[in-house]
């Protein structure tokens, strides 16, 4: 028994370190994730059913009032969109004058989150789209309020998203007011991000919105990432402490938006 347990321990440790340090093991494991799907769906389905039932069994009055509210929202959005179209045209003309390339519209797909909890040590979620839907590793994921994270492993039918609040996540960001550039890293809790290596002369104030700067070529530029909640100068330290509150609803979202930034679309065309 002692010999058997040592052998099994060596085997499992080897797999553990292989997955941590080797890309091919990581790839193999992403394929294996399809085995977990039945049980994951078994938990997800009843919860989805309950929310479906509560959606179906509502009073007509509620529906009417919701409909009126949504109509008003749509009207407002359309009014804004008209202005946006004019601005976009103007922007393109200005870009042509400057001889810089105009930005293309990006392809997007809506995905559902699976209603399951992964390990509490991880700030990750599972979405119901995989290689079948041309999801790729490193793809940015947004919700309607801002940047949520990026895809880190793709299975056939599901893929895993690393939220921006995970300790291994870093997003290049830019202050939308002053233009100060920084890196926002996760702290392992879905309420906080922190900016690293900010000198105390940087023009950052509480309430500033940081948007993705697009510098890492992974996240598309201009999407909100977080709002500054705390700016503390620690005496004796070289850098100041800046905390952000993520604008995306990391803990409450059910649907997310997967984006194909123009850059990777062109890459894919070259590949095929």
Interface residue list for other proteins (CB under 8 A): 1, 4-5, 8-9, 11-13, 15-16, 19-20, 29, 32-33, 35-36, 39-40, 42-43, 47, 115-122, 124, 126, 160, 167-168, 188, 190, 251
DSSP lists the bridge partners of residue 182 as 173
Least spacing, CB of residue 45 vs other proteins, in Å: 11
DSSP lists the bridge partners of residue 198 as 240
3-state SS, 34-49, equals: HHHHHHHHHHHHHHHH
Nearer to other proteins, 109 or 187 (CB): 187
Least spacing, CB of residue 44 vs other proteins, in Å: 8
Least spacing, CB of residue 117 vs other proteins, in Å: 5
Residue 237 sits at φ, ψ, to 5 deg, of -90, 150
Least spacing, CB of residue 199 vs other proteins, in Å: 24
Nearer to other proteins, 162 or 180 (CB): 162
Nearer to other proteins, 13 or 217 (CB): 13
Nearer to other proteins, 166 or 175 (CB): 166
Which is it for strands 181-186 and 107-112: parallel, antiparallel or unpaired?
A: unpaired
List the structure tokens of 161: 């998203």
Q: Tell me if residue 24 falls in helix, strand or coil.
A: helix
Residue 149 CA to residue 250 CA, distance in Å, equals 9
For residue 271, the surrounding DSSP H or E stretch is helix 262-271
Least spacing, CB of residue 34 vs other proteins, in Å: 9
Least spacing, CB of residue 197 vs other proteins, in Å: 18
List the structure tokens of 252: 């409450």
Least spacing, CB of residue 175 vs other proteins, in Å: 26
Residue 267 sits at φ, ψ, to 5 deg, of -55, -45
Residue 196 CA to residue 204 CA, distance in Å, equals 13
- CA 173, 210, 248 angle in degrees (round to 5)? 100
Give the number of other Cβ atoms within 10 Å of residue 31's Cβ.
Answer: 13
Nearer to other proteins, 138 or 188 (CB): 188
Nearer to other proteins, 34 or 72 (CB): 34
Nearer to other proteins, 116 or 183 (CB): 116
What is the distance, to the nearest Å, from the Cα of residue 32 to the centroid of all Cα atoms in its chain?
Answer: 23
């Amino acid at each position: 028994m002692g010999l058997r347990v040592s052998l099994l321990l060596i085997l499992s440790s080897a797999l553990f370190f292989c997955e941590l340090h080797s890309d091919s093991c990581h790839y193999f494991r992403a394929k294996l994730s399809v085995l977990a799907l039945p049980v994951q769906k078994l938990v997800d389905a009843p919860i989805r059913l309950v929310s479906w039932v509560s959606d179906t069994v509502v009073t007509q009055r509620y529906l009417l009032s919701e409909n009126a509210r949504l109509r008003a929202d749509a009207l407002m959005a359309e009014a804004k969109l008209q202005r946006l179209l004019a601005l976009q045209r103007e922007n393109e003309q200005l870009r042509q004058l400057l001889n810089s390339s105009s930005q293309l519209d990006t392809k997007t797909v809506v995905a559902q989150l699976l209603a399951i909890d992964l390990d509490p040590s991880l700030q990750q979620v599972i979405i119901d789209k995989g290689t079948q839907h041309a999801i790729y590793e490193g793809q940015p994921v947004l919700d309607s309020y801002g940047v949520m994270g990026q895809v880190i492993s793709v299975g056939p039918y599901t893929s895993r998203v690393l939220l921006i609040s995970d300790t291994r996540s870093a997003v290049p960001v830019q202050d939308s007011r002053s233009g100060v550039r920084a890196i926002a890293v996760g702290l392992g809790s879905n309420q906080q991000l922190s900016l690293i290596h900010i000198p105390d002369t940087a023009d950052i104030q509480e309430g500033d919105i940081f948007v993705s700067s697009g510098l890492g070529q992974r996240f598309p530029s201009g999407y909100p990432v977080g709002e500054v909640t705390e700016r503390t100068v620690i005496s004796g330290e070289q850098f100041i402490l800046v905390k952000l509150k993520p604008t995306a609803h990391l803990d409450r979202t059910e649907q997310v938006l997967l984006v194909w930034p123009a850059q990777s679309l062109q890459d894919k065309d070259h590949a095929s």
